Amino acid sequence: MTARVVLGVSGGIAAYKAAELLRRFTESGHEVTVVPTESALRFVGVATWAALSGKPVSTSVWDDVHQVPHVAIGQTADLVVVAPATADLLAKAAHGLADDLLTTTLLTARCPVVLAPAMHTEMWEHAATQANVATLRERGVVVIEPAVGRLTGADSGKGRLPDPEQIHAVCVRLLARGATADLAGRRVVVSAGGTREHLDPVRFLGNRSSGRQGYALARTAVARGAEVVLVAANTALPDPAGVKVLRVTSALELRDAVLAEALSADVVVMAAAVADYRPVERLAAKRKKTDTLSVDFVQNPDVLAELGRARRPGQLLVGFAAETGDADGGVLEHGAAKLTRKGCDLLVVNDVSGGAVFGSPDNEAVVLSPRREPVAVPRGSKAALAHVIWDQVVLDLR
């Protein structure tokens, strides 16, 4: 589907990266209007934007006055994305200032708005900037967390513009939904991947979880306006744009990270596969090869159950259950029992008979709720399942 996209570019050194974002939109068949600020044109000129978009470019509300561009551009857009969004642009957007074509476009837009900040770390962390970001998110604007990396000159830290590919992916998800961000102003914590319990410096006990479903949940939550923390256990996946990623290894590390982040979360989603047991002793040196191997184990904490007992009023808890049927019951029977036992608001049940789901880009599941009928999700992309899960979460958010 062709969409009308407004690409705003504010005056930061990362403006040159917006050219790659523009290329991705046009190659996807979208109609793109580029609205740079005067400062942005000091980094990339009008000729570049016009050539790449195939449309004339203006920064002034006084050009083509008869067409009322300062109102019409925002009114007719399906999506507005600003990359990079400087600290100055964030401040103007938060306070409703409109002193150029880009800021007037933001005021008139009634479509999803995505802002991709880029600035020095000190500017991003300043209380004023953080307050402006919080205000924008509360209004439903998707503000992508900046990446960590090399900045201007020799500086490094948080404030780097996320890769254009990742910004584009967030925008595509928003366009596909065709709706405003329904998780705006919400803070969510998602766990992903599989924990490892080390026997020695070389060997460990693990599981087959790739983390793909948890990452899909994090990415789709960002696209729906949430502030997202991802606790990732032993994944090989790239960090999703706009997500704070905490990397852990063992079940105990994951427990500590999730419980700490859950203190201020509106929603916690436990998609990680957490080991049930760990060795009593982790050897400091590699175990020698012998004919026999004897290892004593101790049970790990039940993180999902702990979250159920410790959650704040109004906080929602989503669990995952990888089940196989047995003599005691079928997959859904086991899932229903776990939903009650763990104290979850939702439980996503996967039938993993024969190793299905693990490492695959696709998934199928049944979402159980104590308040509604089960929702069966046929096999499809893990992003599609993630959206169904968030749809169910939104029904319960107060």
Quick check: 28 and 48 in contact, CB under 8 A? Answer: no
Asked if residue 316 and residue 265 are part of one domain, the reply reads yes
From CA 213, how far away is CA 176, in angstroms rounded? 19
pLDDT of amino acid 263: 95
Residues spanned by the domain of 164: 4-177
Total domains in the chain come to 2
pLDDT of amino acid 140: 80
Residue 339 zone, left/alpha/beta (φ > 0; ψ -120 to 50; rest): alpha
Asked if residue 267 and residue 131 are part of one domain, the reply reads no
**Across 235-253, average pLDDT:** 91
- Token look-up 């789901």 returns 357
Read off the pLDDT band of 51 (50, 70, 90): very high
Q: Is residue 182 part of a domain?
A: no
Helix (H, G, I), strand (E, B) or coil at 161: coil
Summarised one tens digit per residue, pLDDT across range 367-376 is 999 999 999 9
CA–CA distances in Å: residue 199 to residues 166, 253, 277, 286:
37, 16, 12, 9
Summarised one tens digit per residue, pLDDT across range 335-367 is 898 898 999 999 999 887 765 566 677 888 999
Summarised one tens digit per residue, pLDDT across range 310-320 is 888 899 999 99
pLDDT of amino acid 1: 64
Q: Is the pLDDT of residue 214 over 70?
A: yes
If you average pLDDT over every residue of the chain, what do you get?
89
pLDDT of amino acid 323: 80
DSSP string, 164-231: HHHHHHHHHHHHHHTS--TTTT-EEEEEEEB--EESSSS-EE-----SHHHHHHHHHHHHTT-EEEEE
pLDDT of amino acid 285: 83
Q: What are the catalytic residues? A: 207
Quick check: 106 and 139 in contact, CB under 8 A? Answer: no
Asked if residue 145 and residue 206 are part of one domain, the reply reads no
Asked if residue 171 and residue 191 are part of one domain, the reply reads no
